Amino acid sequence: MDRRQQETVIGDLVRSFGSSLRNRSLYPPTHPLVRAPVDKCFSDLLRFFADQPELVLVVSDNTLVFEGVPIFNLTSSLEYFMERLERIGAPAVIFEKGITPADVESFIRFLHETRERGLSVERIQERLRGMGVAHIRVRPPEDYEKDDLRFARRIYDKAIESVMSVTREIRSGRIPSGAETDRVVRDMGGMLRKNRDAILALTLIKNFDEYTYNHSVNVAVLSLSLADALALTETEKVEVGVAGLLHDVGKTQLALDLIRKPGGLSVEEYEEIKKHPEEGFVLLGKMSHIRPGSAYMVLEHHMRFDRTGYPRRGHDYRRYPNSHIIPVVDTYDALTTMRSYQKARSPLDALDTMRRLSSKLLSPDYVAVMEKTMGAYPIGTMVKLSTMEVGVVTAAGPGGQGPSRLALLVDRRGMPLPRPEPVDLTRIAGKASLGRRSIIATVNPLLYPPASAESFLRAASM
């Protein structure tokens, strides 16, 4: 199975669990509405065991996750299934190779019949063995921050694949479907709701060789975050996310050597580059599953707030309502990225530059919301502590306030640590021995080579 097929099977499999459990409270165990989902679960599980010895289903932060795939669109049956797992005390379930239909049926019966709350893992395992369940076990509650970062990385990588696929198809002379792009954006939105810091952390990925793809995904993630802060509707958020993901798709109509040129552009070359928003608008207009709003945001992402920029339109031209979002986040990601012609700015320096550009190039209102969303110390900001240790902000905390977590990279003597050391500021604040640890200043990352994006990402996953 390819990834898309795998995710479809996972969604069906988990929904079958929920349906069988829900229907068991309404019908006898032999009823087709109870038995059929059991048989479907078993046949779907077998498709995965060809490649791996066990499969993991986790309940984390009110989200069901099966083999790293978050199930964001919950039916009432799935919600009931998840509630039963959490109430009994089984937040993680392991399905082992060799599982039988009887194992699946007995496990569902266990969930249906058990009325106790918060059973120990040992007690649950004993009950399952007593019911003859040989190839399903549970594991104790854990800190699922690592899982969240892995899930976020999976969604991020899937978005990269989506942009690459669209690019390849267009360059081959075909018009791709926008269905996969729409689905990827909805997954990003779900991950932002589940763990905002985990998905925002990945926008620090700055791969020079694949700048176009990373930049497109970063713009999509940041656009969705800004759309969320603006309390847009779900439909509007998807429109914004799709526009962010495909905002530079018009560059597929330009020569590759022009796009990849490392130095400055001639006047003629710059005029060619300026055509890409209109080219993108035309392409999105031909793609299925793409709403017109996304196409207009792509057309207008280089129009400046003062109505200069490109493509040029008259003063009576009315921009699409949410078109100011993409220019703001596009600028932020570009400023914080090292390129052959510029040094990367720190997140705070980038926001300061954008504030100075507002009212002319960028909407001041949207820049202000962006600053509030990113917080006083945006994720990726390098800071010095009162202990003289140096670290990177890995989580901005609820509502962008904080920071709540750091990754220490340099000790109080100025020596690089052998590996990043996570520090949870929300947990140490009340401890007298550690209470003196506080941020006293931001520092230039160029002074501390260990503070690379990869160091940050390793720390964030600890």
Count other Cβ atoms within 10 Å, centred on residue 298: 32
Co-location of 261 and 166 in the same domain: yes
Return the CATH number at 195. Answer: 1.10.3210.10
Q: What's the CA gap between 238 and 214, in Å, rounded? A: 19
Co-location of 155 and 134 in the same domain: no
Nearest to 328, CA basis, from 350, 345, 344, 309: 350
Co-location of 27 and 151 in the same domain: no
H/E run at residue 126: helix 121-130
Boundary-marking domain end, from 374, 393, 425: 374
Q: Which domain holds residue 166?
A: 146-374
Co-location of 134 and 251 in the same domain: no
Co-location of 454 and 315 in the same domain: no
Co-location of 201 and 249 in the same domain: yes
Residues 6 or more apart whose CB falls under 8 angstroms from that of 328 comprise 226, 354, 362, 363, 366, 367, 370
- Cβ distance 395 to 402 under 8 Å? yes
Q: Is the pTM of the predicted complex or chain greater than 0.95?
A: no
Co-location of 310 and 335 in the same domain: yes
Co-location of 236 and 360 in the same domain: yes
Q: What is the DSSP string of 6-68?
A: HHHHHHHHHHHHHHHHHHHTTS-TTSHHHHHHHHHHHHHHHHHTTT-SEEEEEEETTEEEETT
Number of domains into which the chain is organized: 3
Boundary-marking domain end, from 374, 397, 417: 374
Q: What is the DSSP string of 355-418?
A: HHHBTTTB-HHHHHHHHHHH-SS-TT-EEEETTS-EEEEEE--GGG-S--EEEEEE-TTSPEEE
* Backbone angle region of 317, left / alpha / beta, with phi > 0 → left and psi within -120 to 50 → alpha: beta
Co-location of 339 and 390 in the same domain: no
Co-location of 221 and 299 in the same domain: yes
Boundary-marking domain end, from 97, 112, 139: 139
Co-location of 352 and 389 in the same domain: no
Per-residue pLDDT of the chain (462 residues; tens, 9 = 90+): 555 566 678 778 888 888 888 888 888 888 999 889 889 888 888 888 776 778 888 876 667 777 767 776 677 888 888 888 888 887 788 888 889 999 999 999 999 899 888 888 888 989 999 999 999 988 765 544 566 777 788 889 899 999 999 999 999 999 999 999 999 999 898 888 777 888 888 887 666 556 778 899 999 999 999 999 999 998 999 999 999 999 999 999 988 888 877 777 889 999 999 999 999 999 999 999 999 999 999 999 999 999 889 999 888 899 999 999 999 999 999 998 866 556 778 888 999 999 998 989 999 999 999 998 888 888 888 888 888 898 888 887 655 556 667 888 888 888 888 888 888 776 544 443 344 577 888 887 767 654 454 555 555 444
Co-location of 112 and 173 in the same domain: no
DSSP secondary structure code for residue 447 in this structure: G
